[in-house]
Structures are given as structure tokens and as C-alpha cells.
A and B are shown apart, each in its own frame.
Chain A
Amino acid sequence: MNHKIILLFFMTTIWIHGGAQVKYTLSGLIKEAESGEALIGANVFILEQNIGTNTNNYGFYSITVPASDSLTVSYSYLGHEPVVVRIPFDKNNSINLEMKQMVSALDEVVVTADQNDDNVSRAQMGSIEIPIAKIKELPTILGEQDVLKIIQLLPGVQAGNEGTTGFYVRGGNADQNLVQLDEAVVYNPNHLFGLFSAFNTRAINNVNLIKGGFPAQYGGRLSSILDISMKEGNVKRFGAEGGIGLISTQLTLEGPIKKEEASFIISGRRTYFDWMIKPFLSKSVKTNYAFYDFNAKVNWKIGENDHVYFSAFKGNDDALYSQDGIEYNILFGNQTGTLRWNHVFGPRLFLNTSIISNQYLQDISALQDNAFSSVISEIKDISGKMEFQFYPSPDHQIKFGGHYFDHRFRSAGEAKVGSGSNQGTDLVTDSIPVKNMSEAALYINDDIRLNENVSANLGLRIPAFLSSSVNYIRIEPRLAVKVQLSNNSSLKGSYTLMNQFLHLIPSTTASVPTDIWIPSTQHTKPQESQQYSLGWYKNFNNNQIETNVEAYYKTMKNQVLFKEGNQLVRSLDVDNLLVYGKGWSYGAEFFVKKKTGRLTGWVAYTLSWTNQQFKYLNYGKQFPFRYDRRHDLSLVGTYDLNERWSLSATFVFSSGNTYTVPVGRTQVNHGGSLFEGNYFIYQARNNARLNPYHRLNFSATYKKQRKIFKKPYDSEWVVSFYNMYSRKNPYFIYFQVDPRTDKPTAKQVSLLPIIPSISYNFKF
């Protein structure tokens, strides 16, 4: 089967239309007029030939078509005024374009030339782009806008525990999502135990989630790719943007270093949560919880064909809790640096080369009574990527390249008991031996238009994992096919095979920063998934309303869980504490999105089943995944009342998480021995469900242009309510038996009631 796919791939890749007809290439860069930021995914459409393309992550586009006297080219991008130009086309042509933002979103936009039907016309499926403007409009928790919380509102994506940013895509675990910021992997994209994401929305340009039909340039995770691009900085004028919320404040500065050629952006956020709770704590309690993140980026256009970018990110959480001889310290954070060079070899060939460094460190220690324990885990990666994008004809867009990752893992634990243990730890990061391993991948992907109605995305990726003890080499065919049913509807299908060489070992059933990443070993084999999906896409009202239905079936091998009852252990040689099994998930996702007008938003509904089976869990029988939720519904809407006021709301409803209920109990009696008591008899893992989860968030935004020192600036007040009707959603249920009366009880814990917040934002 695999061989046939590979053969087909190479045949079609080599078969490039090479008729005698003279062809020329139209290429260029599309940027936003106000800031000079690259517009990612902008649509370029040639009306006469009914074909189009999109800009890449750097705003570059290229399309090669037969020569003609003239061409009518339409450029469109959501929230921006479309541009239609008529150009002579008797030679290669380069058009760099700046697109203006729409003056008012209140006017119903009638765009006769808007051909932005990308969702229907591309072979790619399972991909959703989130405009950053949309993220800023939606209700927040404690005034913090959050990319990952918006991701949770998309079809096929399930939120983790109450209030957290963890997300689970099509039955995959949280570790199966590759979260990358400017191509750098962010291993723990969370702050405050997952209540907030590590990404400051003011520094972000674009967010793209892919959950199926993965193109070959993506790999390394089974379930999704969350590709986040940072802003480049305004090349035209200086600007400042900031916000003051209940728990944090943030500031972003950007501007030209050399007008129209080089720019910078720096953005920082810091909480004052630690200062706020201080008055409410007794004197015997010392606590300090703070997180911050910092983004910076510089871009420099070196010449007509070269562009260099350097971006950096650092985010840290630092927590201390101390009371009555107990002291906990938690420090964790990510830092990344990406140096990229874009080179345009010609109108048909584009190259991006990146060198990336990233580091993730967690350092957790506890002193309790007279015992001290500490766990340190660190990952340092240096990676290099090179990707060519070749546009030989409008029927082919070929991407090929390679990735190389050098991983350095360091992890160790320590426990000391007795006198002297309170002197702290001898364990320091530099003293821990480093485990080296590498990942490499070669890939080629061709976006092919086979005929007027059929196009395909064919890809092949060959990833490898190399370490001193074991090597793994895999072959991953990727295939996506689209059949155009009408002008505004299409049918798509895809097959992908993915491998993942890293595993996140959860220390508890709640996703917390103490979870530890481990690489594959001889015992812990790479995770592997195969996914089949089928989708029907249709747009209405001149592409203003997008709809789609996707069905999928996914299998996952070499899944890892702790043996029953095990938690994170002092020795981090965890292989012998793990059990291995498989999982499978299937379901259907429904999505309706209204893109323009006073009322914008979407409805997403997912019907799904996810099960797992482990030889040494649940007596070897299959059981539902913890986040197996039959129904998952999200309603997202923003309504612009007038120039100044807008209202937003999100409503979510989902079936409750599964959990394990004891069905019986028995007594072990030994005259007061410590193991005397009631023991629970379980028949099946995850045999019950919590009550359904539902929540309404609401926000109102008041915008006004004000003046300071006679200079105008935009200001806005945002009032938000998280969990508007204060639903006591179940976080977990636990069972106890009174040791005196032997009476059982079940207790439900709920976390977040209604949380109002107010924040003030400004932009110069």
C-alpha cells in the first residue's frame, strides 16, 4: 500500500505540465498598508483563468500561467479592502502590494470580486486559520486574551480541565500537539498551571491549526500543528500598544529601524497576581506567584530578494508557597530564538532557512517537615530547517526541504530526609548528565491541480530518530484529494501517517507543569498514528459564510500511561513505570462560520468517540479516553452595536469527562493496622461520566479615540464575565469512606464560578 502511494507521488511530481505553450510568472509580496506586516494566506486569484494561490508565511506568492495580453488579478484578505488590478502579461511580472484595512466593519461588505474561497478550493483539509483580530474581540478570563482558549472553541478540539489551556485534538493526548512560535517548539505553552497561555496576543500576527491532512512539511506530533507567527514590527511608523488588566499589564512597542526596510517589535507582559493576593494571606504564609513573557523580533530587508528575521521569546513562571514548615518552589519556562533568512531565487523559487534554539526548564522543589525533594527537567534543542518552495506552474506548488533537531535532555530528582535536608539541594542543572539525541526529517510535498475539478496534495516525509541506544527511521506518506463539486462546494479526503518520538508523561490526571517529556527508547517506542478523513465544504453568500462537515477515523499506536496508581517518581528512569497501549478515535465535525457583517462568529459541533486499550490496565479491556466527550458544541459571536460598542459571547457545551467509579467495596481488618480499611472494587476504568459542562462567557467593549499631548490614540475598555451564570461545572469527583461509620460519600469539586474582570487597552 505504502509503496503504491510513494510511486504515485513520484510519478505525479515528475509529471509537470510542460507543453509548448509560453508561460510567465506573476510573483510578489503582499503586506498590510498600515504596518508593512506580511499578510499570511492572502488570496491571489486570476479571474480569466479561474486559478489562484495564497501567500506563504512571509507574504510571498507566485503563480505561473500562460502568457496573454493582460490578466485581471484579484487580491483579497479578510478584513482588508480587496484589490483588483489589470496587468499586461507578456513577461514575468512582479507585483508587491499593500492592502488597506477596512475602514468600518459595520458596513455589510459587498465584494463582487472576492474569490477567497480558500477553504473550498484548497486540497488541504482539517486546517483552520484564526485571525488575530478575532482573538482580541472574544471574552477573556481575568482580562487575559488567549490564543489557546480560542483554539479550544474549534471543531475537533476539546478543552482539558476547567479553565486550562490544554487542548486535545481528535482524541489525541495533549502531547500530540506541536505548538510552535516562529518555527520554534514551545514545550509548555502555559502560565499559571495552564490557566493562561504563554502567548501574548499583541505580539502575534497569525495562528493556524492543522488537525488532519497534514502537509509533509509538518511532522513530529500525531494530532495537530499549532503554527503561531509573531508580528514583524511596523516598518512605517512607531507605535505603542498596551493593556492593563486585573492580574497583569502588558506593553508592546514597534517601529522602523530603517523606514520601509527594517523594523522591530518588543512586547512584554507581567502579572501582579502576587501583589494582589498578599493582603488576603496570613502572616505565616509566604506566597509569590508571578509569570512574565517577553517577545522581540527584528526584520531586515537586505535587498530585493533577501529578508532576515530574528525573533526571541522568553516566558517564565515562578511560584513560592511557604507555611508552617512547608515550602514549595516551582519554576518553569520556555525560551526560544529563531533566525530566518528568506531568499527569492526568482519568481518561481523561494527559500526559507532557519536556525532555531529553544529551551524548556522546570525546577520544582518541596520542603515538607524535615524532608526535601526536588525534580529538574530540561530540554535544549538546536535545530535547523531549510525549505524550498517551487512554483513551476499553476498546477504545482512544490515544497521540499529538511529539518534537523539536536535534543539535549536533562532530568533528575533528589530526595533527602532528616537533619540538613532543609539546607536545600545539591542538585543543580549543570551537574545532571545530558542525554543527547537527534531528530531529522526530509520531505517533499506537491500541491497539484490535476484538472479543473480535481486537485491533490501529495507528500512524503522521512523522519528519523537517532540516539546512542536506538535508532528509528520511518516513512510517512501524506495524501489529500479535493473534488470540486460546484463553484462554492467541494469534497475532500485525506490520509496521513505521523510519528512522534517524544512523549509527555503526565504525573497526574490534571495537566500540570510537572509533566515530563521523555524521548523514545528501546522500550518506549515512537507513537504512530494513521488518520483518514473525509470532508464536505460549502460556502454561501459569496463566500461570506463558510461551512464544512468532516468525518475522521484515527488510530494511535504506542500510547503511554503510568501504571495504575503511579505518579511522578524520584527516579526519572520511568520506562519501567509505564504501560503501553493503543487508541482510536472517530467522529464528525460540523462548522459554520460567518466572516463579515455586524455579527460574526462561528458554530462548531463535534460528535466523537475515543477509546484506548492497554494490556496492563483495566484488565486488558478497552476503555474510553478521559476526554472522550460524545458532544462538544461551541458558539462564538461578536456583534458590533455601533462605532464604539461591541458585544462578544462564547457558549460551550460538552459531555462530561469520563472518570472511574468504584462499584463495590470490601473491608480489610487488622486491629487498627495502617492498611485496615475499606478498599474499592473497580470493574472498568472510566466507567462513568461527570455531569455535562457548559459555560457562557460575555464581554462588552467600548472603543474611543482620545488624545494625549494633542496626539490621538485608540482606547478601549473591556468588561468581561467568565462563566456568566456561575455554573458549578464538575472538575472531578472523589470518593471516601468514613473510617468510623464505614459510610461512603462522593464529593464533587468545582473550580471557577463567575469571574468578572475589566481591562483597559490603548494603541498609539
Chain B
Amino acid sequence: MKYKFKICALSLLLLLGACQKDIGFGNIDTTYDPQVFIEGILIPGETAKIFISNSLSFFHEKVSPQEIFARGAIVELVSENISEKLQPDSTFDKFRCRWTPFYKGQEIIEYNKTYSLKIDLAGKSYQASTTIDQPKISIDRVEYVENFYDVYGGHDGVIVYLKDQANLANFYRFQMDRIIDNSRKHAHVLDVVTNDCTQEGEQYLVSDLGRTVFSDGPLDGKELKMFIEVSFEYLEGDTATIYMQSLDAQSAAFFQDLDNQLQSILNPFVEPVFLHSTIENAFGVFGSAVRSEPVLFVYPQDNP
């Protein structure tokens, strides 16, 4: 629990005159052989979108998606029906005001199929496969919550209720799509991002994916009540489309790793969390998410 390290740190730092300083990286071994990072989550009904980038030395001064994009990769996606080469593409992220490159397919991904991914890049080859067979879940209802508490602290957000499918290990991730403009700031660390690429009142789509992966665990087959923190500010009457994604187990483990690492980065008193790849010789994940039917949600009040 965070309060324990907080109170220790608080007491020690405040009462005993701790000091903190930025240190250079001079005495730290910075040698690093960059590895390929792959993030590919297939969604039935959509075309494939695979993010491939080169990870860099931690102490590299700046890492933007365009700078680290793995150009020149040959990316193949194969299933029993299709075999296609994905092509480089990009979208403009109007919230971050920057391009996000990826490799895009043309074929529609189908449920209950197995897909194999093969990437050839700089003389090396990476392979992974996934079967999309996790159940599509139905959201029972969504409620607004003004204040709840989780490992990241106290928040506002939404509560999603759904009935878990019994006798399966299920993993859920939240998705909220909203049309916003730059008056809706980010509610967390990215509130420092300067949005100077959109006009006042210019609307754009944001797809807010939850950082917490919920597993049914001991609540197998029961009604699940999930408290979810949202990324962007809102006003009363703002609307959003909410989905719950069912993730395959490998993807769930990977995103759980990300969540655990984020917590460990925020807390200097816990041991760091290593990322465990689902792709041999590379970092990252290749898996799938099956989306529920959408639910329209209207914020009943302004954000607190």
C-alpha cells in the first residue's frame, strides 16, 4: 500500500532534512544493445495495426514515436484465410500533436482464427502467433463515481458492471472513446502536454484505454464491478462510448507488467518490475482483444 512508503518517506524526508539532487549518468554504465519493441493487438472486425519500434538506451535524450519507429521492416500476417504484408502508415495524434507510425493491414481480422506474425528487420526475424477465441462480453451497466481509491490513489471515474463468463480465465480492459477538444485537459501526468496543433473548438477522437487489467480470478462467473479511472477531464453532459475488451492471457500478462512497472517507477521503495515479452528475441506483445458491444455514457456532472 502506498501509504506505507509515503509515510516513511514523508517522515524521514521532512523531519530529517533529506536532500535530493539530479545526478549525471557519468558513473552509470549506459551501454545498451537496442531491441525491437512490438505491440500488436488484433481486434476482430478491424484491420491489423502493429506498432514496431526500436527501444533505445535509457539515457538517450529524446525518444519520439517517429524517431524510434522501425522503418524498413517486412511485416507479414498469416491465418488460414489470409496472408498479407502490412504497410507503414501513421495517424496524427491530435492530443499529443505528433505522428504515430505503425504497420497497417488491409484484411479484416476475424474471430476464432489463429494469426501468425512474422517480422524481418535488419537481418533478424521475429515470430509470434495468437488465437482469438476469448469470449465477447456484455456490459450490464455503467455508473459514474465521483471518488474511489485504488493503488494509484483517489480518483473520479466510472464503474462498469458485467457478468463474467464462468469456467474461463477472463481478462478485461476498459476502452472509452470520446470526441473532445483542447478545452478537455488530460487529468493526470500528461496535463503538461502542450496542445498547440488544434484550434479552439476543433474536435478530435481520443480512445482512452484503461491501464488496469481486471481478471475474474475468484469471482469466476459472478457479476464484476470494476472501478475505472479515466484519462481526460469532462463536463456535465459530455458523452462517451464505452467498451470492455476481453484480452487473451498473454496480452493480459503483458499489460499487467506495464501496470506493475508504472507503479514501481512511481515508488522508489519497491523493486523494479521487468517486462516479460511474449515474442522471442524482442520486447512486446502479440495478442488480441475482443470488444464488447458499445454502451453510451453521459457524464452526470463536471469533473470534481
A contact residues vs B (CB 8 Å cutoff): 163, 193, 195, 277, 289, 319, 321, 328, 330, 364, 366, 368-371, 373, 375, 415, 417-418, 507-510, 512, 514, 561-562, 564-570, 618-619, 660-682, 685, 687-688, 691, 728, 731-736, 739-753
Q: Any chain A CB within 8 A of the CB of B200?
A: no
Instruction: Give the contacting residue for B153; candidates A369, A512, A746; CB below 8 A.
Output: A369
Contact assessment for A680 and B96 in the assembled complex, using a CB-CB cutoff below 8 Å: no
Contact assessment for A679 and B275 in the assembled complex, using a CB-CB cutoff below 8 Å: yes
Instruction: Give the contacting residue for B270; candidates A567, A668, A670; CB below 8 A.
Output: A567
Report the separation of the CA atoms of residues A253 and B94 in the bound assembly, to the nearest whole angstrom: 75
Instruction: Give the contacting residue for B95; candidates A368, A672, A733, A740; CB below 8 A.
Output: A672
The count of chain B contact residues (Cβ–Cβ below 8 Å) is 92
Report the separation of the CA atoms of residues A324 and B119 in the bound assembly, to the nearest whole angstrom: 53
Contact assessment for A669 and B65 in the assembled complex, using a CB-CB cutoff below 8 Å: yes
Contact assessment for A328 and B190 in the assembled complex, using a CB-CB cutoff below 8 Å: no
Q: A321-B7, A564-B274 are in contact. Are A746 and B148 (CB under 8 A)?
A: no
Report the separation of the CA atoms of residues A741 and B3 in the bound assembly, to the nearest whole angstrom: 29
Q: A671-B93, A681-B35, A739-B192 are in contact. Are A664 and B58 (CB under 8 A)?
A: yes
- Chain A residues with Cβ under 8 A from B265's Cβ? 680, 735-736
Chain B 275-289 interface mask (CB, 8 Å, partner A; 1/0):
100000001000000
Instruction: Give the contacting residue for B20; candidates A682, A741, A747; CB below 8 A.
Output: A747
What's the minimum C-beta distance from B184 to chain A, rounded to whole angstroms? Answer: 10
- Chain B residues with Cβ under 8 A from A364's Cβ? 4
Report the separation of the CA atoms of residues A346 and B237 in the bound assembly, to the nearest whole angstrom: 92
Taking CB as reference atom, which chain A residue is nearest B180?
Answer: A672
Report the separation of the CA atoms of residues A569 and B2 in the bound assembly, to the nearest whole angstrom: 10
- Chain B residues with Cβ under 8 A from A671's Cβ? 93, 95-96, 100, 206-208
Q: Any chain A CB within 8 A of the CB of B61?
A: yes
Contact assessment for B62 and A742 in the assembled complex, using a CB-CB cutoff below 8 Å: yes
Q: Any chain A CB within 8 A of the CB of B71?
A: no
A-B contact pairs, 19 of them (CB 8 A): A364-B4, A370-B148, A370-B154, A375-B1, A417-B227, A508-B270, A512-B8, A514-B8, A564-B264, A661-B28, A670-B207, A671-B207, A674-B188, A674-B209, A676-B190, A680-B58, A687-B29, A747-B21, A753-B19
Report the separation of the CA atoms of residues A745 and B25 in the bound assembly, to the nearest whole angstrom: 9
Report the separation of the CA atoms of residues A746 and B260 in the bound assembly, to the nearest whole angstrom: 20
- Chain B residues with Cβ under 8 A from A731's Cβ? 18
- Chain B residues with Cβ under 8 A from A512's Cβ? 4-5, 8
- Chain B residues with Cβ under 8 A from A742's Cβ? 62-64
- Chain B residues with Cβ under 8 A from A734's Cβ? 268
Contact assessment for B53 and A666 in the assembled complex, using a CB-CB cutoff below 8 Å: yes
Instruction: Give the contacting residue for B19; candidates A330, A369, A749; CB below 8 A.
Output: A749
Q: Any chain A CB within 8 A of the CB of B263?
A: yes
Taking CB as reference atom, which chain A residue is nearest B63?
Answer: A742
Q: A618-B274, A753-B19 are in contact. Are A565 and B260 (CB under 8 A)?
A: yes
Instruction: Give the contacting residue for A682; candidates B34, B60, B274; CB below 8 A.
Output: B274
Q: A680-B58, A680-B265 are in contact. Are A672 and B272 (CB under 8 A)?
A: no
Contact assessment for A744 and B18 in the assembled complex, using a CB-CB cutoff below 8 Å: no
Q: A277-B15, A746-B28 are in contact. Are A568 and B63 (CB under 8 A)?
A: no
Q: Any chain A CB within 8 A of the CB of B11?
A: yes
Report the separation of the CA atoms of residues A618 and B276 in the bound assembly, to the nearest whole angstrom: 10
What's the minimum C-beta distance from B76 to chain A, rounded to whole angstroms? Answer: 22
Report the separation of the CA atoms of residues A752 and B18 in the bound assembly, to the nearest whole angstrom: 6
Contact assessment for A751 and B18 in the assembled complex, using a CB-CB cutoff below 8 Å: yes
- Chain B residues with Cβ under 8 A from A736's Cβ? 265
Instruction: Give the contacting residue for A666; candidates B232, B267, B273, B283; CB below 8 A.
Output: B283
Contact assessment for A507 and B4 in the assembled complex, using a CB-CB cutoff below 8 Å: yes
Q: A370-B154, A508-B270 are in contact. Are A319 and B4 (CB under 8 A)?
A: no
What's the minimum C-beta distance from B170 to chain A, rounded to whole angstroms? Answer: 19
Report the separation of the CA atoms of residues A328 and B259 in the bound assembly, to the nearest whole angstrom: 26
Report the separation of the CA atoms of residues A685 and B272 in the bound assembly, to the nearest whole angstrom: 8
Chain B 231-269 interface mask (CB, 8 Å, partner A; 1/0):
110000000000000000000000100111111110111
Contact assessment for B39 and A682 in the assembled complex, using a CB-CB cutoff below 8 Å: no
Contact assessment for B4 and A514 in the assembled complex, using a CB-CB cutoff below 8 Å: yes
Report the separation of the CA atoms of residues A583 and B189 in the bound assembly, to the nearest whole angstrom: 40
- Chain B residues with Cβ under 8 A from A373's Cβ? 1, 3
Instruction: Give the contacting residue for A674; candidates B1, B58, B60, B231; CB below 8 A.
Output: B231
